[in-house]
Chain A
Amino acid sequence: MTGLGVGLWAAITIAVAGPATSTEYLPLQVAQAEGYFVQEKLEVTLHIERNEGEAARALARGRADIAATSLDAAYREGHVAGAPPPLFFGLTAAAPVAILVSPSHKDTLHTPAELRGQPVGLPGGGTPEQAMLNSVLIHAGVKIHQVPLRSFSSRALEGALARGEVAAGIMADPLITRMIEDQSARRRFMAPSSFARAVASTRAISRRWPAPCSGPWRGSPRRLPSPSCPCCPRR
């Protein structure tokens, strides 16, 4: 802790859904790198978790003060005794992904509804890509189980789409840009703009700060030290 002459600092741990290269959480990385947190006398530790669920669970289990993850994961896995964590800052309206169509299907696939019965590639289950695909299909009147899904690594998905092993693939950049520029994918379904405006799928979630302790810190396992309390130890 810095001395009283400089002012009290608060230490905060933010569990951030990985991977570290995700642009959805880039504002946090930029704030860290450019000293915005320090300007506000905050000592922030960004802890990159494996995925959205892990970030939410870190919040629920007290390993983090704040989670930056999807609303879906925060409510499903970040709740404490059923109480969903309150939201205090929105990052993105929707995951920046797109559905690309294989060149071999460019004449048969024109709408998301036509994906029914067609194999679709994605970079794994439990990802923002899968969540967005599910939402797009639901809005097109297609149930997810009506679409055969196949998981690939990014490079493998690129090849599978180009060869026509899958009729379409949902992915993020830089894969989208590369495939469009290489013309190895012919069409792109974006989430309808009205849909994207209505959706806030990723955000930073706060955990309620406990009330300041009423006296000397007693080390109670049931109370967390409060950053606003001068006698509580910093975590």
Chain B
Amino acid sequence: MARVAEATPESLLSVLPASVTGPPADFRARIEGARQSYLPRGLVTDDVLKASIDQARERAPFPAAVKLPWFGWSSLLLGGPLQRAIEASPGPAR
């Protein structure tokens, strides 16, 4: 995540295939516009997850078959491996 958030467009253009970047000028505009949207270190908290679920429900109810918990959102998050990876290699926030 840090690499994508901080690398220059040119350094990414040099390693990514054209099918991913598209025209270089377009890629530069897209990457500059998207940097603010990346989640630092990929971490998702219970609150963020709940807010996202609430927002999705505002748009349309989930199918009746989908079983979401009424509380204890952490059961939907598998955060252990990421936390261990972050603790093992602390780096910049992004």
Contact = CB atoms under 8 A, between A and B. Distances in A.
A138 interface: yes
Interface string A182-225: 00000000000000101111010010000000000000000000
A228 to B, nearest CB: 13
Interface in A18-36: 20-21, 23-24, 26-27, 29-30, 33-34
B62 A87 contact: no
A72 interface: yes
Contacts of A173: 26, 29-30, 32-34
A174 B26 contact: yes
Contacts of B65: 79, 81-82
Contact of A92 (B25, B27, B38, B82): B38
A179 to B, nearest CB: 11
Contacts, number: 152
B74 to A, nearest CB: 10
B87 to A, nearest CB: 16
Interface string B41-55: 011100111011101
Contact of B39 (A76, A90, A198): A90
Nearest to A83: B67
B69 to A, nearest CB: 9
Contacts of B28: 174
Contact of B68 (A75, A200, A201): A75
A119 interface: no
Interface residues of A, number: 47
B77 A82 contact: no
B3 A91 contact: no
A90 B55 contact: no
B20 interface: yes
Given A27-B1, A33-B17, A135 B43 contact: no
B30 A21 contact: yes
A23 B31 contact: yes
Contacts of A67: none
A177 interface: yes
B10 interface: no
Contact of A75 (B22, B29, B30, B66): B66
A90 B43 contact: yes
Contacts of A92: 34, 37-39
B34 A24 contact: yes
Contacts of B52: 71, 198-201
A195 B73 CA distance: 20
A94 B65 CA distance: 26
A91 B42 contact: yes
Give the 8 A-B residue pairs with the shortest CB-CB distance, closest first. Answer: A174-B29, A23-B34, A173-B33, A90-B44, A198-B51, A88-B78, A90-B39, A177-B29
Given A21-B20, A138-B59, 9 more contacts: A27-B3, A29-B20, A30-B7, A76-B63, A84-B66, A131-B59, A135-B55, A174-B26, A200-B39
